[in-house]
Amino acid sequence: MKLLNSLMLAALSTTAIYAQKQVSARDIFQAIDKNQSVQYDGVVVTGDLDFTELSNRKVKHEKGGWEEIKTTVEVPVVFRNCTFKGDVIAYKNLQENGSKTKVFNIEINNGGVTYSADFRENAIFENCTFENGSEFKYSTFSKVANFAGSKFAEQANFKYAKFRQDAFLANIRFDDYANFKYADFAHKADFKDVRFHDSADFKYAEFDERVDFTGSRFQRHADFKYADFHDGASFDKTDFDDGVDFKYSNGKRYVSSR
């Protein structure tokens, strides 16, 4: 009987620990909206985490039926070894009828209201899994941005994103389209050992310091057309399975395959 009771207590304890690993995106959002820094390790985040709905949002631009609204994450956000079950949203476009539009590889000037979020402090999403959408279009990362070791199961949208400090993007797995078109990297950009399973778009991207793609693999087409490598780029032991376009790009590149 004592052994049975011990086993039951152990089972209940295990269940409680597992339950603690489920965290609501709403709870995380409310903490950030109160300017409380958040730090999680090894949790499953349920629901959509929408940074564009913070109460500090301001109209940044309004012209010709198109309106841009900005929010700012004022506190550090740290997620390590976490799984995001819903969308992680730092960009969205809402039409007049309230519908949401996601645009990855094409431009549609369809009016409505565009929402985007900036990150004033460190934004850490290290070794995380994004099971659904991840939208960081137009986001400015004022401090360190760390997505190293993460997995993006769906399209990852960093178009027009600005990285003002170091950007750690090594060992990422992009299962779908990776969009860094027009992205601006002011400091170190680390893309070592990244796996791009679908198309990778770095067209018009700007790298102010040396960027490192050593050991990465592009399984679909890689587009670096018009990219600026101000301090050079390393593509040492980098595989381009379906070709790469460096047309009109600027700066020195060291390219070698395995």
Burial of residue 131, with CB atoms counted within 10 A of its CB: 0-12 exposed, 13-18 middle, 19 or more buried: middle
**Which has more pLDDT, 256 or 13?**
256
**Residue 67 one-letter amino acid:** E
CA distance 39 to 55: 21
How would you classify the pairing of strands 211-212 and 189-190? parallel
Q: What pLDDT is stored for residue 94 in this prediction?
A: 85
CA distance 95 to 110: 8
pLDDT in tens, 75-126: 999 999 999 999 999 999 987 544 454 443 334 445 678 999 999 999 999 9
- Helix and strand element counts for the chain (H, E): 2, 36
Domain boundaries, the chain: 23-255
165 is written with which tokens? 């400090």
**Residue 242 one-letter amino acid:** D
Q: What pLDDT is stored for residue 110 in this prediction?
A: 54
256 is written with which tokens? 């070698």
Cα 113–Cα 114–Cα 115 angle in degrees, nearest 5: 120
Q: What pLDDT is stored for residue 56 in this prediction?
A: 97
pLDDT in tens, 32-75: 999 999 999 999 999 999 999 999 999 876 655 678 899 999 99
pTM (2 d.p.): 0.86
Q: Is the dihedral of CA 38, 39, 43, 48 positive or negative?
A: positive
What Cα–Cα distance (Å) separates residue 184 from each residue in 13, 56, 94, 105? 48, 25, 25, 18
For residue 11, name the pLDDT band (cuts at 50, 70, 90): very low
Beta carbons of 135 and 155 less than 8 angstroms apart: no
Beta carbons of 210 and 187 less than 8 angstroms apart: no
pLDDT in tens, 129-172: 999 999 999 999 999 999 999 999 999 999 999 999 999 999 99
Among left, alpha and beta (phi > 0; psi -120 to 50; other), residue 251 is left
pLDDT in tens, 197-253: 999 999 999 999 999 999 999 999 999 999 999 999 999 999 999 999 999 999 999
What Cα–Cα distance (Å) separates residue 190 from each residue in 74, 152, 187, 209? 25, 17, 10, 10
3-state secondary structure of 27: helix
For residue 257, name the pLDDT band (cuts at 50, 70, 90): confident
**Which has more pLDDT, 4 or 231?**
231
Q: What pLDDT is stored for residue 204 in this prediction?
A: 98
What Cα–Cα distance (Å) separates residue 231 from each residue in 25, 99, 201? 40, 43, 20
